[in-house]
Amino acid sequence: MPKLKFSPLKGITRRWIANSVFVIVIVIFLCVFGFSVFIRSYFYSNISEGLRSKSKTAASFLTNYVTQTYAEYYDTAYSYTENFDDAGHLELQFINTRGHIEVSSIGMAAGSSPGTPDISSALSNGNTSVWYGRSPQTGERIIAVSSPLIYGNGETIGIMRYVSSLQKVNNLVTVYTVVAVAVGIAIILMVIFTNMFFIRSVVKPVNEITSVAKRIAEGSYGIQMNQTYTDEIADMVDAINEMSLKISQSEKAQAEFVSSISHELRTPLTAISGWGETLTYDESLTGEAKKGARIILKEARRLTKMVEELLDFTRMQDGRFTLNVERIDVGAELEEAIFTYREVLRQDDIDLEYEPCMYDLPLINGDPERLRQVFLNILDNAAKYGRDGKRIIVTIDSDASYISIKVRDFGPGIPENELEHVKKKFYKGNYTQRGSGIGLAVCDEIVKYHGGTLTLANAEGGGTLVTVRLPIEL
């Protein structure tokens, strides 16, 4: 039998507990309560009827069959009480018209007064009266049945009062109630236990489907679930599998298209860039023509960079992306990227400050070309989106396990609701800036290939802080 795994109640399980088990518990509680009331009433009623019958029988015997004088009648009632045969189970009291005990079958003091309502009721209306309560003398729960003794002329000369302890009856009622509670709890546990299998048969596949759906949402297109179900859940699994397959096919077609177009664009862009450089060095070009040649070269380089990013991205998507790993000095690679980009930033009046590490950094395993690509892309983003701040600070440091590179701009920062999306492919939070929207996605993948992390956050005081952490041992 599979083991049930109990965890904090949530979702479907919590709703089931609230809507189903709670109702069952209430119904069983009401049933147990009703049973307890019924069984108590049943036993009390039986003992009451039994004592009432005994009391009426004794009073009728004395009234109908004893035809002595008043004094003899009184003495007979006294003697009957004193010699009561069933004294081991019941107490019989002969009580006078003042409510005082004349004689008791268990030897209660003559002259004492029980003072219970059944006595006064029997004396006042001449009918048998029943009373439940605690004995004024002992404090014990009792039942008392009082029947008036009527002499021949209709005169009430006393009361025959039967008294019985309710202790045994109450104990019996308690036992039945405990049994009823135990049965109720057993039923509740059985309902919960049996239904947990049903809930588990629903929750487990739903959790599995949710997990697969999340993996698909995170980019694991084409993943398939094992079909082990035969009900509506099977239809859901089939739908998820079909959706995953179609998304995978669509992504593959998109990647192939992007790769094909990128390859087709590389050749003309290479030619444009080459001729653009040639024209910029042509001394015969002056004025607007010279400026136009520089714009052509700049835009051709931007498009070439975009095409390279698209190619890298498609390689990552279909698993063809590789690293040329070697032992490198990350600090040297970062300084080279800064040196390459500093002049470009200076032309836009952006000050690039570099704070090198105060001690020698250890060598790490990495691809120098790819890491320079990451550094240049981050600097380019800092320049584009933090342009208004006119300042970029780059720092590098290390601890026992990682080398950390931080690039901070002083621009407007990233809206909080966009922070978790900016590394996603084709996502562009600021649509006023040109670009493909995959630069950071490519950088993030390259850093992951190196076993590191790339994080973005809003810096204290304004601007964006990008942190690249690379492991010292890969």
Into which CATH architecture does domain 13-171 fall?
2-Layer Sandwich (3.30)
Query: What are the residue boundaries of the structural domains of the chain, listed by start?
Result: 13-171, 232-318, 326-471
Query: Which tokens go with 410?
Result: 């002083």
Is domain 326-471 annotated with CATH 3.30.565.10?
yes
241 CB burial (10 A radius; 0-12, 13-18, 19+)? middle
Give 37-63 pLDDT, tens digit per residue. 898 888 888 888 888 888 777 777 776
Confidence label for 122 from pLDDT (cuts 50, 70 and 90): confident
Of these ranges, 166-175, 393-402, 408-417, the one predicted with the greatest mean pLDDT is: 393-402
For 66-166, where are the alpha helices, taking DSSP H only? 70-82, 117-125
Q: 298 in helix, strand or coil?
A: helix
**Domain 232-318 belongs to what architecture?**
Orthogonal Bundle (1.10)
Say which residue, 16 or 114, is predicted with more confidence. Answer: 114
Strands 351-355 and 391-398: parallel
pLDDT digits (tens, 9 = 90+) for 276-289: 778 777 777 777 88
pLDDT at position 377 over 90: no
Phi, psi of 18 (to 5 degrees): -70, -40
Q: Would you place residue 66 in the very low, low, confident or very high pLDDT band (cuts 50, 70, 90)?
A: low
Backbone torsion region of residue 84, taken as left when φ is above 0, otherwise alpha when ψ lies between -120 and 50, otherwise beta: beta
The residue written with tokens 């039967």 in the block is 162
Question: Between these two residues, 227 and 455, which has the higher pLDDT value?
Answer: 455
Residue 1's pLDDT band (cuts 50, 70, 90): very low
Res. 431 pLDDT band, cuts 50 70 90: very low
Query: What local confidence, expressed as pLDDT, does residue 67 receive?
Result: 53
Categorize the per-residue pLDDT at 5 as very low, low, confident or very high, splitting at 50, 70 and 90. very low
CB 372 within 8 A of CB 325: no
> Which token pair is 448?
């992951």
Mean pLDDT of 202-224: 79
- Read off the pLDDT of each residue in 305-327 and give the average, rounded to a whole number: 74
- Number of CB atoms found within 10 A of residue 457's CB: 13
